[in-house]
Amino acid sequence: MSEPTQPNDQSGNNPGPWNSGQPGQPAPGQQQPGQQGPYQGGQAYPGAQGNYNYPASGDSSAQGGYAYPGSPYGQMTPAEEPPRPKQVNQAFWLLIASAVVGLISLPFSISYMNSPEYLEYMETITRDLGLEVDSQSLSDAVATNTISSVVGGILGAAVSVGLALLVRAGFNWARILLTIFAVLSLVGLLGLFVTGPVVGVLTLVSLVATIVAVILLFMKPSSEYFTRKKAYRQAKKFGGYQA
C-alpha cells in the first residue's frame, strides 16, 4: 500500500520543512520588494569597523570637493612684497652719495699728483728706500699712481652704486659684502692725506657715509626687511603663495 503524496502548492510555496514560512511571507535571508538593506540610505553597515556611512543615492550633500583637515594647501595666501623701511632708503642714498663724493675727488687727486709738492714727496720716499733718484723713474711713478687712483676711484664708485641697488632690493648677501667693503676701506685712513688735503677730506666724508649706511642696514627694521624679502622671493618661485 503506497503512502499518499503531499499535494504541490500551485503558488510555488511548498509546505514542508524546507519552506516552513507562511504563504506570502519571504523566506529567511530574502527581503521584500521596495525594502532597503541596513547599509543603504546613509545608515551604517552593521559589523563594519570605523562605522562608515554610505550616503544614499541621490544625496547631493555628499557631492563636491573633499576637505582634508590639516592640509597646508588650504591655508596658502598670495605672497605680498614687504614694504621698504626708511632705514634702507636712507642707507641707499648714503651709498650713492659716497660714490658721488668719490668721483668728485678724482680731479683733485689727479691735479695734486702732477704738482711739485707731490713730486717732492715722491723724491723723499725714494731716498728713504735707499734708491737712486731719477727723473724718469719719478715721472713713471707719478703716471702709475695717477692711473691707479683714477681706476680705483671709478671701480670704488661702481661697487658702491651696485651694492646700493642690491641692498635696496633686499639681498642680504649684498649687505654682508658691503660691510666687508667698509671695513677694508678703513685701511685707507693710514694714507688719507697722501694725495692732498682736499682729497683727504672728501675720502673721509665718503667713508663716513658708507659706515653710517652699514649701521642703518643692521638696524631691526632693516633686518626684518631682508628676512621678509627673502621669504617673498622664495614664494614667487613656487607660484606666488606662502603659508
Buried b (16+ CB within 10 A) or exposed e, 110-124: bebbeeeebbeebee
What are the tens digits of pLDDT across the range 110-149?
A: 888 888 888 888 888 888 877 777 788 888 888 888 898 8
* % of the chain beyond a pLDDT of 70: 66
**Alpha carbons 80 and 242: distance in angstroms, whole number:** 9
Spatial contact of 207 and 190, defined as CB atoms under 8 Å apart: no
In this prediction, residue 187 has a pLDDT band, given cuts at 50, 70 and 90, of: confident
What are the tens digits of pLDDT across the range 13-31?
A: 444 444 444 445 554 545 5
**Alpha carbons 117 and 191: distance in angstroms, whole number:** 16
**Alpha carbons 81 and 62: distance in angstroms, whole number:** 40
Q: Is the dihedral of CA 176, 218, 165, 157 positive or negative?
A: negative
Phi, psi (5° rounding) for residue 53?
Answer: -105, 130
**Alpha carbons 182 and 94: distance in angstroms, whole number:** 13
Q: Is the dihedral of CA 113, 115, 119, 120 positive or negative?
A: negative
Q: Is the pLDDT of residue 235 over 80?
A: yes
Query: pTM for this one?
Result: 0.64
**Alpha carbons 167 and 222: distance in angstroms, whole number:** 10
Q: How far is CA 190 from the centre of its chain?
A: 40
